[in-house]
Amino acid sequence: MLAPFVKVGGHQFILLNILTREFVFFGIPFWPNDFYLVALLFLTGVITIVLFTATLGRIWCGWLCPQTVFMEMIFRKIEWMIEGGPKEQAQRRNGPWTFDRAWRAIVKIVVFAALSFGIANVFLSYVISSDRLLSYVVDGPLAHLELFVGLVFFTFVFFMVFYRFREQACLIACPYGRYMSALVDENTVAVTYDYKRGESRSKWTKADTASRKQHGDGRVQRAAGAGDCVDCHQCVTVCPTGIDIRNGIQLECVNCTACIDACDEVMDKVGMDRGLIRYSSLNAVEHGTSQVFTRRIKAYLAVWCVFILAVGVLFATRSDLDVVLLRQPRSTWTVMKEGTANFYALNIINKTSEDLPYELIVVSPTGYEIKPLNLPPQVKAEQKMEGRLIIIRTARSGRTGDETLQLVLRSRGTVLRTFETTFIGPRE
């Protein structure tokens, strides 16, 4: 949430401007020619999610996905403050429209809309930068009407997601859930109902109450043949996607753990051990043991390590300076009054936070000069400089024909780059 408003070394902590291809991750700016690093980071993120899903189920959905985090940590908590818990809400929903129901509904809409507007602004600041967003706010909406219309549209989308669609958005729009069935297996740790302990399910009976009194140690032995599930449906009632986890792991489960909490509460009330629904794997429930490092997980881990290593190495060796010297396309040589000339284009990207004065000279062979055409004397901090120059073989050098030149780019006496280029000239 705060990432666009945090600055590191003068840069926004995270900026994802797809339109202008400006990317900043953790305060490090990436230029278009660093795009391979951005792509690699993205792929590493995907492989990380695959690895974690195969081992820990939909941990992303339950704990990291912005939709779930906003929904569970902010919107649902506010909803509960305004309208009460799920039971109270259901009672109100099924009852008539009263003043009490109306004011709560209006307050909820206003608060949800305001929060959605705030979230849309935060998302926009990821794209256009928080500085630009603040300047647009100062200018007023009419000065940037198109952007404001987009902002209102996304506010409406967020509002509908949090107010109406909620986890349905995960089922309808999110591609990740679709891949889940391909990634999980019987060793994946996920929210799981212990059917061995819970079945056969049956309602809590008078005999069970009597049994609880008899034992008096907090543990209850239900009637013969009855499992620990008292078939209260609490796990189904609290489930945001409306599934019954007792039917096994399902595509719709977003790992929010609401059913775990609800069932633990029921177990506490009836005096049985918690954990009838818990984080576990199918193998652990069935056989009491589960293998975490299966061959498949080891393979994912190996690929993940390779990617992490590659990202680390490429980051460590990433240059602060990109220099490209290219002969002007489709050009050969020209005769000028100073001598024979070849035209070049010079591009320098200065990724550092300091201005970079520079000079380009021909170190070998002798008899050559460089004449800048429109080259500024320095490259500004975090800027790209594009310009043209002429390499001239002086008439007095007496050299002829094509020659290989050695050039260096220096800054404050330090050699930054060396180049080789072939100078093209007449044979005599």
Residues at the interface with ligand SF4 (CB under 6 A): 191, 193, 198, 201, 229-235, 238-241, 243, 245-246, 253-259, 262-263, 266, 276-277
User: 244 vs 286, which CB is nearer to ligand SF4?
Assistant: 244
Distance, CA of 89 to CA of 93 (rounded, Å): 6
Closest to ligand SF4 by CB, 200 or 319: 200
Q: How many helices (H) and strands (E) does the chain have?
A: 16, 17
How deeply is 102 buried, as exposed, middle or buried, from its count of CB atoms within 10 A (0-12, 13-18, 19+)? exposed
- Which residues 6+ apart lie within 8 Å of 51 measured at CB? 297, 300, 301, 304
| Residue whose CB is less far from ligand SF4, 230 or 349 | 230
**What's the closest the beta carbon of residue 229 comes to ligand SF4, in angstroms?**
3
Least gap, CB of 290 to ligand SF4 (angstroms): 19
Residue in 86, 102, 78 with CA at minimum distance from that of residue 163: 78
Min dist CB 280 to ligand SF4, Å, is: 12
Beta bridge partners of 391: 342, 370
With a CB cutoff of 8 Å and minimum separation 6, the contacts of 73 are: none
Least distance CB 191 / ligand SF4 (angstroms):
4
End-to-end C-alpha distance for the chain, whole angstroms? 69
Nearest approach in angstroms of CB 104 to ligand SF4 is 24
CA 422 to chain centre: 46
Closest to ligand SF4 by CB, 241 or 294: 241
Q: Which is nearer to ligand SF4, 70 or 300 (CB)?
A: 70
| Tokens 């489930």 found at | 239
Min separation Cβ 194 and ligand SF4, Å:
9
| Amino acid code (one letter) for 359 | E
CA dihedral 15, 19, 20, 22 (to 10 degrees): 20
Distance of closest approach, residue 228 Cβ to ligand SF4, in angstroms: 7
Estimate to the nearest angstrom the gap between the alpha carbon of 412 and the chain centroid.
Answer: 40
Q: Closer to ligand SF4 by CB, 55 or 350: give it.
A: 55
Nearer to ligand SF4, 4 or 86 (CB): 86
Q: What minimum distance in Å lies between the beta carbon of 56 and ligand SF4?
A: 13
Beta carbons within 8 Å of 325's beta carbon, 6+ residues apart: 344, 345, 346, 360, 407, 419, 421
Could you tell me the smallest distance in angstroms from the CB atom of residue 50 to ligand SF4?
20
CB atoms within 10 A of CB 312: 10
Is residue 240 a contact partner of residue 254, using CB atoms and an 8 Å limit?
A: yes
For ligand SF4, which is the closer residue by CB, 175 or 377? 175
Between 240 and 425, CB nearer to ligand SF4: 240
Closer residue to ligand SF4 (CB): 258 or 375: 258
- Min dist CB 233 to ligand SF4, Å, is 5
**Which of 351, 332, 352 is closest to 342 using CA atoms?**
332
SS (H, E, C) 15-81: EEECCCCEEEECCEEECHHHHHHHHHHHHHHHHHHHHHHHHHCCHHHHHHCHHHHHHHHHHHHHHHH
